[in-house]
Amino acid sequence: QGRILEKTGLCSQITFGRYVRQGRKLGVDPKLFIQDLQFNKVPVRVYQPKATSDGRRRRGIIFFHGGGWVFGSLDTYEKVCRYISRESESVVVSVQYRLAPEHKYPAAYEDCLSATIHFMKNIEHYGVDPGNVIVCGDSAGGNLAAAVSQTLAGRSDLPKLRAQILIYPGLQALDFNLPSYHQNRGVPLLLRERAAFFALQYLNGHALHMQEVLEGSHIPPDVRLKYRKWVSPDNIPEKFKVRGYKPHKPCEFKAEVLAEVRRFCEPNLCPLLAEDAIVHQLPESFILTCEYDVLRDDGLLYKKRLEDNGVRVTWYHLEDGFHGIISLYDYCGFSFPAGKRGLDSIVNFLKSL
Protein backbone atom coordinates (compact mmCIF):
# COMPACT_ATOMS: atom_id res chain seq x y z
CA GLN A 1 0.00 0.00 0.00
CA GLY A 2 2.83 2.36 0.87
CA ARG A 3 4.34 1.93 -2.59
CA ILE A 4 0.99 2.53 -4.31
CA LEU A 5 0.50 5.73 -2.34
CA GLU A 6 4.05 6.85 -3.14
CA LYS A 7 3.54 6.22 -6.88
CA THR A 8 0.33 8.25 -6.84
CA GLY A 9 2.22 11.03 -5.08
CA LEU A 10 -0.08 10.98 -2.03
CA CYS A 11 2.65 10.37 0.49
CA SER A 12 5.97 8.62 0.83
CA GLN A 13 6.25 4.96 1.83
CA ILE A 14 7.91 6.05 5.05
CA THR A 15 5.17 8.51 6.03
CA PHE A 16 2.57 5.82 5.37
CA GLY A 17 4.56 3.25 7.36
CA ARG A 18 4.82 5.59 10.32
CA TYR A 19 1.09 6.23 10.23
CA VAL A 20 0.28 2.50 10.21
CA ARG A 21 2.69 1.78 13.07
CA GLN A 22 1.56 4.64 15.30
CA GLY A 23 0.28 2.54 18.16
CA ARG A 24 -2.96 3.28 19.98
CA LYS A 25 -3.15 5.48 23.04
CA LEU A 26 -3.57 3.24 26.06
CA GLY A 27 -5.56 4.05 29.18
CA VAL A 28 -4.16 4.64 32.64
CA ASP A 29 -2.14 1.77 34.12
CA PRO A 30 -3.16 1.26 37.78
CA LYS A 31 0.27 -0.15 38.66
CA LEU A 32 2.48 2.44 36.98
CA PHE A 33 3.21 6.13 37.23
CA ILE A 34 3.96 7.28 33.65
CA GLN A 35 5.28 10.67 32.59
CA ASP A 36 6.68 12.28 29.45
CA LEU A 37 9.89 14.25 30.03
CA GLN A 38 12.95 15.49 28.19
CA PHE A 39 16.43 14.22 28.99
CA ASN A 40 18.95 16.62 27.51
CA LYS A 41 16.34 17.81 24.93
CA VAL A 42 15.55 14.18 23.96
CA PRO A 43 11.88 13.21 24.55
CA VAL A 44 11.51 10.22 26.90
CA ARG A 45 8.67 8.42 28.65
CA VAL A 46 9.37 7.23 32.18
CA TYR A 47 7.51 4.25 33.69
CA GLN A 48 7.75 3.88 37.48
CA PRO A 49 6.06 1.09 39.45
CA LYS A 50 3.68 2.54 42.08
CA ALA A 51 4.15 -0.29 44.60
CA THR A 52 6.70 0.41 47.32
CA SER A 53 10.05 -1.28 46.81
CA ASP A 54 10.69 -2.05 50.54
CA GLY A 55 13.15 0.82 50.70
CA ARG A 56 15.43 -0.81 48.13
CA ARG A 57 16.34 1.11 45.03
CA ARG A 58 14.98 -0.27 41.80
CA ARG A 59 16.84 -1.25 38.69
CA GLY A 60 16.65 1.21 35.81
CA ILE A 61 16.18 0.17 32.18
CA ILE A 62 16.82 2.48 29.25
CA PHE A 63 14.82 1.23 26.31
CA PHE A 64 15.47 2.05 22.63
CA HIS A 65 12.64 1.03 20.29
CA GLY A 66 12.96 -0.82 16.99
CA GLY A 67 11.72 0.22 13.55
CA GLY A 68 14.78 0.29 11.30
CA TRP A 69 15.84 3.74 12.61
CA VAL A 70 12.98 4.99 10.39
CA PHE A 71 9.80 3.97 12.22
CA GLY A 72 8.71 3.61 15.81
CA SER A 73 7.75 5.93 18.66
CA LEU A 74 7.05 6.00 22.38
CA ASP A 75 3.44 5.05 21.62
CA THR A 76 4.38 2.09 19.40
CA TYR A 77 6.28 0.50 22.29
CA GLU A 78 3.95 1.54 25.09
CA LYS A 79 2.67 -2.00 25.77
CA VAL A 80 6.14 -3.55 25.76
CA CYS A 81 7.58 -0.92 28.12
CA ARG A 82 4.61 -1.17 30.50
CA TYR A 83 4.94 -4.95 30.56
CA ILE A 84 8.69 -4.86 31.32
CA SER A 85 8.27 -2.18 34.00
CA ARG A 86 5.34 -3.94 35.71
CA GLU A 87 6.63 -7.51 35.55
CA SER A 88 10.24 -6.79 36.50
CA GLU A 89 9.32 -3.98 38.93
CA SER A 90 11.84 -1.68 37.26
CA VAL A 91 11.92 1.96 36.23
CA VAL A 92 11.85 2.01 32.42
CA VAL A 93 12.91 5.03 30.35
CA SER A 94 11.75 4.78 26.73
CA VAL A 95 13.73 7.08 24.40
CA GLN A 96 12.27 8.90 21.39
CA TYR A 97 15.42 9.33 19.32
CA ARG A 98 15.38 11.22 16.02
CA LEU A 99 14.47 9.11 12.99
CA ALA A 100 15.99 8.70 9.53
CA PRO A 101 15.89 9.69 6.70
CA GLU A 102 15.28 13.21 8.07
CA HIS A 103 17.99 12.70 10.69
CA LYS A 104 20.87 10.58 9.47
CA TYR A 105 23.48 8.67 11.48
CA PRO A 106 24.73 9.47 14.07
CA ALA A 107 21.58 11.39 15.22
CA ALA A 108 19.76 8.35 16.70
CA TYR A 109 22.92 7.07 18.40
CA GLU A 110 23.72 10.53 19.82
CA ASP A 111 20.19 10.93 21.22
CA CYS A 112 20.30 7.50 22.88
CA LEU A 113 23.74 8.15 24.38
CA SER A 114 22.76 11.62 25.56
CA ALA A 115 19.52 10.41 27.22
CA THR A 116 21.38 7.52 28.90
CA ILE A 117 24.09 9.78 30.34
CA HIS A 118 21.47 12.26 31.57
CA PHE A 119 19.61 9.42 33.32
CA MET A 120 22.79 8.10 34.94
CA LYS A 121 23.70 11.55 36.22
CA ASN A 122 20.23 12.19 37.69
CA ILE A 123 19.50 8.71 38.88
CA GLU A 124 18.53 9.57 42.46
CA HIS A 125 15.39 11.39 41.23
CA TYR A 126 13.97 8.07 40.08
CA GLY A 127 14.87 5.89 43.06
CA VAL A 128 17.17 3.81 40.87
CA ASP A 129 20.27 1.98 42.06
CA PRO A 130 23.26 3.47 40.13
CA GLY A 131 24.85 0.02 40.05
CA ASN A 132 21.82 -1.53 38.33
CA VAL A 133 21.25 0.35 35.08
CA ILE A 134 20.57 -1.72 31.96
CA VAL A 135 20.39 -0.66 28.30
CA CYS A 136 17.85 -2.56 26.23
CA GLY A 137 16.51 -2.42 22.68
CA ASP A 138 15.01 -4.48 19.88
CA SER A 139 16.12 -4.56 16.24
CA ALA A 140 17.47 -1.07 15.39
CA GLY A 141 17.06 -0.34 19.11
CA GLY A 142 19.27 -3.36 19.84
CA ASN A 143 21.86 -1.82 17.53
CA LEU A 144 21.66 1.47 19.47
CA ALA A 145 21.83 -0.30 22.85
CA ALA A 146 24.99 -2.18 21.74
CA ALA A 147 26.59 1.05 20.47
CA VAL A 148 25.76 2.98 23.67
CA SER A 149 27.04 0.10 25.78
CA GLN A 150 30.36 0.10 23.91
CA THR A 151 30.76 3.85 24.27
CA LEU A 152 30.07 3.77 28.00
CA ALA A 153 32.37 0.78 28.59
CA GLY A 154 35.37 3.08 28.47
CA ARG A 155 33.94 5.87 30.65
CA SER A 156 35.30 6.11 34.19
CA ASP A 157 33.20 9.16 35.18
CA LEU A 158 29.89 7.25 35.19
CA PRO A 159 28.65 4.12 36.96
CA LYS A 160 29.24 0.97 34.89
CA LEU A 161 26.20 -0.44 33.12
CA ARG A 162 24.93 -3.58 34.86
CA ALA A 163 23.85 -5.31 31.64
CA GLN A 164 22.79 -4.96 28.03
CA ILE A 165 19.72 -6.64 26.54
CA LEU A 166 19.80 -7.02 22.76
CA ILE A 167 16.58 -8.29 21.19
CA TYR A 168 17.14 -9.54 17.60
CA PRO A 169 19.67 -6.73 17.04
CA GLY A 170 21.07 -5.63 13.66
CA LEU A 171 24.79 -5.26 14.28
CA GLN A 172 26.58 -5.10 10.93
CA ALA A 173 26.13 -4.01 7.31
CA LEU A 174 29.15 -5.65 5.68
CA ASP A 175 27.46 -8.92 4.78
CA PHE A 176 23.81 -9.28 3.80
CA ASN A 177 24.50 -12.85 2.65
CA LEU A 178 25.00 -14.64 5.96
CA PRO A 179 22.99 -17.89 6.26
CA SER A 180 20.05 -16.22 8.05
CA TYR A 181 19.79 -13.61 5.28
CA HIS A 182 19.43 -16.37 2.69
CA GLN A 183 17.15 -18.65 4.66
CA ASN A 184 14.74 -15.91 5.74
CA ARG A 185 15.03 -13.48 2.83
CA GLY A 186 11.26 -13.44 2.27
CA VAL A 187 10.04 -13.88 5.86
CA PRO A 188 7.97 -11.04 7.33
CA LEU A 189 8.27 -8.74 9.21
CA LEU A 190 11.78 -7.94 7.95
CA LEU A 191 12.64 -8.95 4.38
CA ARG A 192 16.29 -9.03 3.34
CA GLU A 193 15.86 -6.02 0.99
CA ARG A 194 14.24 -4.01 3.77
CA ALA A 195 17.15 -4.64 6.12
CA ALA A 196 19.57 -3.08 3.59
CA PHE A 197 17.05 -0.31 2.80
CA PHE A 198 16.81 0.66 6.49
CA ALA A 199 20.59 0.59 7.06
CA LEU A 200 21.09 2.89 4.05
CA GLN A 201 18.29 5.26 5.11
CA TYR A 202 19.97 5.58 8.52
CA LEU A 203 23.43 6.08 7.00
CA ASN A 204 22.68 8.30 4.00
CA GLY A 205 19.02 9.34 4.14
CA HIS A 206 18.47 7.43 0.85
CA ALA A 207 18.85 3.88 -0.44
CA LEU A 208 20.39 4.46 -3.86
CA HIS A 209 23.00 1.69 -3.60
CA MET A 210 20.79 -1.01 -2.16
CA GLN A 211 21.58 -3.56 -4.90
CA GLU A 212 25.34 -3.24 -4.48
CA VAL A 213 25.06 -3.51 -0.71
CA LEU A 214 22.91 -6.65 -1.01
CA GLU A 215 25.34 -8.33 -3.40
CA GLY A 216 28.36 -7.30 -1.31
CA SER A 217 30.19 -5.12 -3.83
CA HIS A 218 30.29 -2.17 -1.39
CA ILE A 219 33.17 -3.50 0.73
CA PRO A 220 36.78 -3.81 -0.57
CA PRO A 221 38.40 -7.27 -0.32
CA ASP A 222 41.01 -6.11 2.23
CA VAL A 223 38.35 -4.74 4.58
CA ARG A 224 36.30 -7.90 4.17
CA LEU A 225 39.40 -9.92 5.02
CA LYS A 226 40.16 -7.73 8.05
CA TYR A 227 36.71 -8.34 9.55
CA ARG A 228 36.43 -11.95 8.46
CA LYS A 229 37.45 -13.10 11.93
CA TRP A 230 34.21 -11.57 13.26
CA VAL A 231 31.77 -11.43 10.33
CA SER A 232 31.77 -14.80 8.63
CA PRO A 233 29.52 -17.85 8.24
CA ASP A 234 32.44 -19.84 9.70
CA ASN A 235 31.55 -18.46 13.14
CA ILE A 236 27.95 -19.62 12.97
CA PRO A 237 27.16 -23.06 14.44
CA GLU A 238 26.56 -25.69 11.74
CA LYS A 239 23.02 -26.45 12.91
CA PHE A 240 21.95 -23.00 11.71
CA LYS A 241 23.16 -23.71 8.17
CA VAL A 242 21.17 -26.86 7.45
CA ARG A 243 18.08 -25.06 6.19
CA GLY A 244 19.01 -24.56 2.51
CA TYR A 245 22.08 -22.32 2.83
CA LYS A 246 24.58 -21.99 -0.05
CA PRO A 247 27.72 -19.92 0.51
CA HIS A 248 27.78 -16.66 -1.46
CA LYS A 249 30.78 -15.12 -3.20
CA PRO A 250 30.69 -11.32 -3.00
CA CYS A 251 30.46 -9.55 -6.34
CA GLU A 252 33.29 -7.44 -7.68
CA PHE A 253 34.07 -4.42 -5.49
CA LYS A 254 32.80 -1.03 -6.72
CA ALA A 255 34.89 1.85 -5.34
CA GLU A 256 32.24 4.49 -6.09
CA VAL A 257 29.81 2.74 -3.74
CA LEU A 258 32.34 2.55 -0.90
CA ALA A 259 32.61 6.35 -0.95
CA GLU A 260 28.90 6.44 -0.04
CA VAL A 261 28.95 3.74 2.64
CA ARG A 262 32.43 3.99 4.21
CA ARG A 263 30.92 4.67 7.64
CA PHE A 264 29.46 1.14 7.74
CA CYS A 265 32.86 0.27 9.24
CA GLU A 266 32.28 2.49 12.30
CA PRO A 267 31.40 0.49 15.44
CA ASN A 268 28.86 3.15 16.52
CA LEU A 269 26.92 2.14 13.41
CA CYS A 270 27.97 -1.54 13.25
CA PRO A 271 28.83 -2.64 16.82
CA LEU A 272 29.96 -6.10 15.67
CA LEU A 273 33.11 -4.41 14.32
CA ALA A 274 34.33 -2.99 17.66
CA GLU A 275 37.86 -3.93 18.72
CA ASP A 276 38.40 -6.69 21.30
CA ALA A 277 39.69 -4.13 23.82
CA ILE A 278 36.19 -2.59 23.90
CA VAL A 279 34.17 -5.82 23.69
CA HIS A 280 36.18 -7.23 26.58
CA GLN A 281 34.91 -4.40 28.88
CA LEU A 282 31.21 -4.90 28.09
CA PRO A 283 28.69 -5.75 30.82
CA GLU A 284 26.83 -9.01 31.25
CA SER A 285 24.62 -9.51 28.19
CA PHE A 286 21.30 -11.01 27.18
CA ILE A 287 20.77 -11.75 23.48
CA LEU A 288 17.48 -12.90 22.01
CA THR A 289 17.43 -14.36 18.50
CA CYS A 290 14.63 -15.78 16.33
CA GLU A 291 15.07 -18.68 13.92
CA TYR A 292 13.00 -17.04 11.16
CA ASP A 293 14.79 -13.69 11.12
CA VAL A 294 17.36 -12.26 8.69
CA LEU A 295 19.14 -10.71 11.71
CA ARG A 296 19.51 -14.03 13.56
CA ASP A 297 23.17 -14.41 12.61
CA ASP A 298 24.11 -10.87 13.70
CA GLY A 299 23.01 -11.93 17.19
CA LEU A 300 24.85 -15.26 16.98
CA LEU A 301 28.08 -13.60 15.81
CA TYR A 302 27.96 -11.04 18.61
CA LYS A 303 27.25 -13.76 21.17
CA LYS A 304 30.44 -15.51 20.05
CA ARG A 305 32.45 -12.27 20.21
CA LEU A 306 31.25 -11.50 23.72
CA GLU A 307 31.95 -15.04 24.93
CA ASP A 308 35.40 -15.05 23.29
CA ASN A 309 36.14 -11.90 25.30
CA GLY A 310 35.03 -13.38 28.62
CA VAL A 311 31.67 -11.56 28.80
CA ARG A 312 28.85 -13.54 30.37
CA VAL A 313 26.01 -14.07 27.89
CA THR A 314 22.50 -15.37 28.44
CA TRP A 315 21.16 -16.44 25.05
CA TYR A 316 17.49 -17.08 24.37
CA HIS A 317 16.54 -18.47 20.96
CA LEU A 318 12.94 -18.58 19.78
CA GLU A 319 12.82 -21.63 17.47
CA ASP A 320 9.40 -20.56 16.25
CA GLY A 321 10.05 -16.80 16.37
CA PHE A 322 10.26 -14.22 13.57
CA HIS A 323 11.58 -10.67 13.52
CA GLY A 324 9.47 -8.19 15.48
CA ILE A 325 7.61 -10.83 17.49
CA ILE A 326 8.14 -9.16 20.89
CA SER A 327 5.94 -6.22 19.89
CA LEU A 328 3.24 -8.68 18.83
CA TYR A 329 2.83 -10.48 22.14
CA ASP A 330 -0.56 -8.78 22.35
CA TYR A 331 -1.44 -6.92 19.18
CA CYS A 332 -4.95 -5.77 18.31
CA GLY A 333 -6.46 -8.93 19.76
CA PHE A 334 -3.88 -11.25 18.13
CA SER A 335 -1.46 -12.97 20.41
CA PHE A 336 1.77 -14.76 19.51
CA PRO A 337 2.77 -17.08 22.37
CA ALA A 338 6.43 -16.94 21.22
CA GLY A 339 6.38 -13.15 21.70
CA LYS A 340 5.16 -13.58 25.28
CA ARG A 341 7.82 -16.25 25.94
CA GLY A 342 10.47 -13.91 24.60
CA LEU A 343 9.28 -11.03 26.79
CA ASP A 344 9.14 -13.27 29.85
CA SER A 345 12.69 -14.47 29.19
CA ILE A 346 13.78 -10.80 29.30
CA VAL A 347 11.86 -10.20 32.54
CA ASN A 348 13.43 -13.32 34.09
CA PHE A 349 16.90 -12.16 33.11
CA LEU A 350 16.22 -8.74 34.68
CA LYS A 351 15.02 -10.34 37.91
CA SER A 352 18.21 -12.40 38.06
CA LEU A 353 20.45 -9.30 38.10
pTM for the whole thing?
0.95
pLDDT digits (tens, 9 = 90+) for 7-49: 555 557 787 777 767 777 788 999 999 999 999 999 999 999 9
pLDDT (0 to 100) of residue 17: 78
C-alpha distances in Å from residue 130, one per residue of 59, 147, 162, 285, 313 = 8, 20, 9, 18, 22
Give the pLDDT score at 5.
47
In a domain, 94, yes or no: yes
Confidence band, pLDDT 50/70/90 cuts, at residue 2: low
- Alpha-carbon span 319 to 289, nearest angstrom: 9
CATH number for the domain spanning 129: value is 3.40.50.1820
Spatial CB neighbours of 131, under 8 Å, sequence gap ≥ 6 = 159, 160, 162
Which of 89 and 21 is assigned the larger pLDDT? 89
220 located within any domain: no
Q: How confident is the model at residue 52 (pLDDT cuts 50, 70, 90)?
A: confident
Residue 251 lies in a domain: no
Mean predicted confidence (pLDDT) in 69-79: 96
Question: Which residues are part of the catalytic machinery?
Answer: 139, 293, 323
Residue-level pLDDT at 70: 96
Task: Please check whether residue 228 lies inside any domain of the structure.
Answer: no
Q: Per-residue pLDDT tens for 123-172?
A: 999 999 999 999 999 999 999 999 999 999 989 999 999 999 999 999 99
| Mean pLDDT for the stretch of residues 240-266 | 93
Backbone angles phi, psi at 263, to 5 degrees: -75, -5
What average pLDDT score do residues 187-204 get?
96
Domain with 94, as residue range(s), is 22-173+260-352
Q: Is residue 295 part of a domain?
A: yes
Is the link from the previous residue into 220 a cis peptide, with omega within 30 of 0? no
In a domain? residue 215 = no
Q: What is the mean pLDDT of the chain?
A: 94
Radius of gyration for the alpha carbons in the chain, expressed in angstroms and rounded: 19
Would you state the pLDDT for residue 250? 83
**244 domain residue, yes or no:** no
> Does the residue 292 lie in any domain?
yes
Q: Write the pLDDT tens digit of every residue in 288-345.
A: 999 999 999 999 999 999 999 999 999 999 999 999 999 988 877 777 899 999 999 9
What domain count does the chain have?
1
